[in-house]
């Protein structure tokens, strides 16, 4: 799931239908800035918004998440010279497209279950590929603290019982001057294409973010943000 590719596809659909960013924003009841952010690949619409976009432009969700129309297979013209082989090839193609079109994506919103944090994310996966995207991490209690930081590191974990697996990391983000937690969090995004998870254990998975923030007094503060995945859906 490539944010840039999805954004370019939404942009092409909008232009193909003769809409400006403002007109699309009005139809979706969002701001023009939100549409611009999607089209520039700096974020992905949440699952409800993706469904609205797919219905508006009459494309299925799998196509929207792939960021391109499905490529049609071309049949070599030489096949028509061999009627017997042609029939066999047609049968093979029928079965191929039947199974290909039924390998739909399962997808889910990824949200924070910590009241102090707001997070937007989408997990999308099929038998052949899977990915998870997390962005727009906001600390909601920042008005209650005046702490400022010089660096931050954010890690994404999946816990299975007593076993924890790190599936993503932001790396250490530093600043020449002290900043609030939210100023650092604006720079954090997770885009993981190798996230291997099935529909069965998706709802049972225990995902969480570990945010390590270093204060100007060289003290590390850690925030643990449990994540929730909405119910599993298959298109």
Share of the chain above pLDDT 70, in %: 72
Close Cβ partners of 6 (under 8 Å, ≥ 6 residues apart): 38, 41, 44, 64, 65, 67
Q: Are residues 78 and 55 in the same domain?
A: no
Is residue 102's pLDDT more than 70?
no
78 and 97 share one domain = yes
Question: Is there a single domain that holds both residue 114 and residue 229?
Answer: yes
The predicted pLDDT at position 163 comes to 80
Q: Provide φ and ψ at 107, rounded to 5°.
A: -150, 160
Confidence band for 95, pLDDT divided at 50, 70 and 90: very low
Residues 199 and 212 in one domain: yes
Structure tokens at 204: 């049972």
- Location of structure tokens 């997808």: 107
C-alpha closest to that of 115 among 142, 141, 147, 148: 141
> Residue 211's pLDDT is what?
94
Cβ-based neighbours of 49, under 8 Å, separated by 6 or more = 28, 30
- Which pLDDT score is estimated for 145? 66
Q: Tell me: do 221 and 148 sit in the same domain.
A: yes
Q: Which two tokens stand for residue 4?
A: 């840039």
* Domain total in the chain: 3
Residues 118 and 181 in one domain: yes
pLDDT at position 225: 92
Task: Please give the residue that has the higher pLDDT: either 95 or 119.
Answer: 119
The pLDDT, as a whole number, for residue 74 is: 41
| CA–CA dist 1, 181 (Å, integer) | 28
**Tokens read off for 210:** 């570990």
pLDDT value at residue 153:
95
Q: What is the CATH number of the domain that holds 45?
A: 1.10.260.40
The closest of 123, 136, 128 to 167, measured between CA atoms, is: 123
Mean pLDDT lowest among 43-52, 92-101, 176-185: 92-101
141/173 same-domain check = yes
Enclosing domain of residue 80: 72-102
Q: Specify the CATH number for the domain of residue 203.
A: 2.60.40
* 112 and 204 inside one domain: yes
Residue 56 and residue 78 share a domain:
no
39: confidence class by pLDDT, cuts 50, 70, 90:
confident
148 and 223 housed in the same domain? yes
- In the predicted model, what is the mean pLDDT of the chain? 77
Q: Say yes or no: 34 and 134 in one domain.
A: no
Instruction: Tell me what pLDDT residue 135 has.
Output: 82
What's the mean pLDDT in 166-187? 89
Mean pLDDT value across residues 85-92: 54
Are 81 and 179 members of one domain? no
Taking only the tens place, the pLDDT of each residue in 109-139 is 888 888 899 888 887 766 666 678 888 899 9
pLDDT on residue 75: 40
- CA separation for the pair 215, 161 (Å, rounded): 32
Residue range 12-38: mean pLDDT, rounded: 89
Average pLDDT of the segment spanning 208-214: 93
């Amino acid at each position: 799931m490539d944010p840039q590719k999805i954004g370019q596809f939404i942009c092409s659909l909008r232009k193909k239908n003769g809409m400006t960013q403002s007109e699309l924003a009005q139809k979706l009841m969002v701001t023009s800035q939100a549409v611009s952010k999607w089209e520039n690949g700096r974020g992905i619409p949440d699952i409800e918004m993706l469904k609205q976009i797919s219905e508006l432009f009459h494309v299925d969700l799998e196509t929207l998440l792939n960021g391109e129309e499905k490529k049609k297979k071309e049949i070599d013209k030489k096949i028509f010279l061999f009627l017997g082989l042609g029939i066999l090839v047609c049968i093979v193609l029928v079965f191929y497209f039947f199974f290909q079109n039924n390998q739909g994506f399962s997808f889910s919103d990824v949200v924070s279950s910590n009241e102090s944090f707001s997070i937007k994310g989408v997990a999308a996966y099929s038998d052949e590929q899977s990915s998870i995207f997390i962005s727009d991490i906001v600390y909601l209690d920042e008005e209650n603290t005046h702490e400022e930081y010089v660096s931050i590191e954010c890690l994404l974990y999946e816990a299975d019982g007593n076993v924890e697996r790190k599936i993503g990391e932001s790396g250490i983000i530093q600043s020449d001057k002290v900043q609030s937690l939210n100023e650092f969090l604006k720079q954090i995004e997770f885009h993981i294409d190798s996230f291997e998870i099935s529909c069965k254990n998706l709802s049972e998975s225990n995902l969480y973010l570990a945010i390590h923030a270093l204060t100007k007094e060289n003290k590390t503060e850690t925030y643990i943000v449990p994540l929730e995945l909405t119910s599993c859906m298959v298109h």
